[in-house]
């Protein structure tokens, strides 16, 4: 195995999911819903298969899907992306992220990640031969995380090629504020940095918050690759249809990498995702309302079980401090939790270059049926 990949041989999701399976634990680790997406979307995929949409789709993605992605970005955020040239369909957001790194980053270039970071980002940087610099999100006294803006400004310079922004943010559930977005945009403009935005949770914001894509800020459309996917918005994480939108020069660079990674993927799912983006946003709104209630249900349960619960403003996740229960290491706790009480969760420190700052935090997924959440809460009470 190359030195590029050696630090990344196993993923925490595979490890904890396997542990949960072996012990029969309730799995609030890996973030995936336990109910299906909109029926019309599922039917559209079945019909596509029955109607012979089973061969290679066009390299950039089915024109119908690219048009639907473009319309969605225009209607929701007022951003224009030409379906031909400024939209590329990928195998999930994961491929879009990795292909973006391979397309843009020269060996030795620096890429700024905000930590905790989603686990595929550092691997993608490393595969491209890049060097990552991390900027921390810090836990504030108000129980939410905020970006360390001084650290951001210090991390970015002439050596920086790209910055990755994920809002709403996995694993913390933070939605970046307009001030934070403005500061990130300024740093990108001042240093001629490309922003790669991971917007897979773009529809899952709570308490009336709205998603503001970084590409809508002044001077950012021309330097941003905006990435999203079907998985979270439409409860179909196994479909792996993603997309990246941006200026044609950047998108065609990503396409150059993507075409030799997978070439294309998911033919019959593509028209179904187009259907979903055009017709199922009402379904998504009900999903959002339901998830907000689940966030409250699990957050309250965690607090009653003795955890210090942090604010979750979006995503599938809520983080909790395990110290009030007498533990000091979230990773140790998560590795013993399945056997101890029959519950699986994910330690936050594994998403950090500096694990000390988040050593005490554990991430719980609330994208599960209420009875599953209630059983999880019942088991968590056994920790006291
Ligand atoms: N980014 C983030 C922040 C995620 O949480 C996930 C998946 N859960 C992904 C990317 C991957 O998305 P996809 O399944 O579309 O590849
Ligand atoms: N994105 C999901 C999570 O954060 C997991 C994806 C994966 O298993 N790689 O839980």
The mean pLDDT of the chain is 97
* Ligand 2 touching residue 170 (CB < 6 A): yes
Q: Is the pLDDT of residue 251 over 90?
A: yes
Q: Is the ipTM of this complex over 0.85?
A: yes
User: What's the pLDDT score for residue 10?
Assistant: 84
Domains of the chain, residue spans? 6-37+282-383, 56-279
- What's the maximum distance between 2 C-alpha atoms anywhere in the chain? 58
Structure token pair of residue 327: 């533990």
pLDDT of residue 62: 98
Q: What is the pLDDT of residues 53-94, one digit of tens each?
A: 999 999 999 999 999 999 999 999 999 999 999 999 999 999
Distance 172 CA to ligand 2 centre (A): 13
Q: Are 340 and 6 in contact (CB under 8 A)?
A: no
pLDDT at residue 117, as a whole number: 98
Reported confidence tier of residue 5, pLDDT bands at 50, 70, 90: very high
Q: Band of the pLDDT at 318, cuts 50, 70, 90?
A: very high
What tokens does 373 get? Answer: 């959440």
The pLDDT, as a whole number, for residue 11 is 86
Q: What average pLDDT score do residues 314-323 get?
A: 98
Cα distance between residue 320 and residue 277, in whole Å = 33
191-249 pLDDT, tens digit per residue, is 999 999 999 999 999 999 999 999 999 999 999 999 999 999 999 999 999 999 999 99
Find the mean pLDDT for residues 354-359: 96
Number of residues written out for the chain: 384
Nearest to 13 by CA among 317, 327, 372: 317
Q: What is the pLDDT of residue 228?
A: 99
The finding on whether 13 has its CB within 6 A of some atom of ligand 2 is yes
- Answer yes or no: is pLDDT of 384 > 90: no
The 10 Å CB-count burial string (b at 16+, else e) for 358-383 is bbbbbbbbbbbeeebbeebbebbeeb
CATH number belonging to domain 56-279:
3.40.640.10
Q: Is 242 touching ligand 1 by the criterion CB < 6 Å?
A: yes
CA of 377 to the centre of ligand 2 (A): 22
What gap in Å lies between CA 167 and CA 211, rounded to an integer?
A: 8
- Alpha-carbon distance of 56 to 106, in angstroms, equals 31
For residue 193, the CA-to-ligand 1 centroid distance in Å is: 23
Determine the pLDDT at residue 272.
99
Q: Best mutation site among 19, 31, 334, 368 for ligand 2, i.e. most ligand atoms within 8 A of its Cβ? A: 31
- Minimum-distance ligand to the CA of 262? 1
* CB-based contact 73:251 (threshold 8 Å): no
What is the whole-number distance in angstroms between the Cα of residue 184 and the centre of ligand 1? 21
Q: Give residue 13 CA to ligand 2 midpoint distance, Å.
A: 6
Model pLDDT for residues 97-125, shown as the tens digit of each residue: 999 999 999 999 999 999 999 999 999 99
List C-alpha distances in Å: 313 to 90, 175, 177, 282: 28, 6, 11, 20
Q: What is the pLDDT of residue 73?
A: 98
What is the average per-residue pLDDT within 352-362? 96
Q: Which of 32, 116, 118 to mutate to test the pocket of ligand 1 (most atoms within 8 A of CB)?
A: 118
Q: So what CATH class is 6-37+282-383?
A: alpha beta
For 255, list phi and psi in degrees, rounded to 5: -65, -35
CA of residue 171 to ligand 2 center, whole Å: 10
Each residue's pLDDT tens digit, 252-293: 999 999 999 999 999 999 999 999 999 999 999 999 999 999
């Amino acid at each position: 195995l190359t030195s590029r990949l050696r630090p990344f041989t196993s993923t925490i999701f595979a490890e904890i999911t396997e542990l949960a399976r072996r012990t029969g634990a309730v799995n609030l680790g890996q973030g995936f819903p336990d109910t299906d997406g909109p029926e019309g979307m599922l039917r559209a995929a079945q019909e596509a298969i029955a109607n012979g949409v089973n061969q290679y789709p066009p390299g950039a993605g089915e024109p119908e899907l690219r048009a639907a992605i473009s319309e969605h970005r225009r209607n929701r955020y007022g951003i224009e992306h030409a379906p031909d040239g400024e939209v590329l369909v990928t195998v999930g957001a994961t491929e879009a992220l990795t292909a973006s790194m391979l397309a843009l980053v020269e060996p030795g270039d620096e890429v700024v990640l905000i930590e905790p970071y989603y686990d595929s980002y550092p691997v993608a940087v490393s595969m491209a031969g890049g060097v990552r610099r991390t900027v921390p999100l810090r836990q504030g006294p108000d129980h939410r995380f905020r970006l360390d803006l001084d650290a951001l400004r210090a991390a970015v310079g002439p050596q920086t090629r790209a910055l990755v922004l994920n809002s709403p943010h996995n694993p913390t559930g933070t939605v970046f504020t307009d001030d934070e977005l403005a500061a990130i945009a300024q740093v990108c403009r001042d240093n001629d940095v490309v922003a790669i935005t991971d917007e897979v949770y773009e529809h899952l914001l709570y308490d009336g918050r709205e998603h503001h894509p970084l590409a809508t800020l002044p001077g950012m459309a021309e330097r941003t690759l905006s990435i999203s996917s079907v998985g979270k918005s439409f409860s179909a994480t196994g479909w792996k249809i993603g997309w990246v939108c941006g200026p044609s020069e950047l998108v065609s660079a990503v396409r150059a990498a993507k075409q030799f990674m997978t070439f294309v993927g998911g033919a019959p799912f593509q028209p179904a995702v187009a259907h979903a983006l055009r017709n199922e946003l009402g379904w998504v709104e009900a999903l959002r309302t339901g998830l907000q209630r689940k966030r409250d249900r699990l957050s309250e349960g965690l607090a009653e079980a003795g955890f210090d619960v942090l604010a979750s403003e979006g995503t599938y996740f809520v983080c909790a401090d395990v110290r009030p229960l007498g533990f000091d290491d979230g990773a140790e706790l998560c590795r013993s939790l399945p056997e101890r009480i029959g519950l699986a969760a994910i330690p936050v420190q594994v998403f950090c270059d500096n694990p000390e700052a988040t050593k005490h935090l554990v991430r719980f997924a609330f994208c599960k049926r209420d009875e599953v959440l209630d059983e999880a809460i019942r088991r968590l009470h056994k920790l006291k």
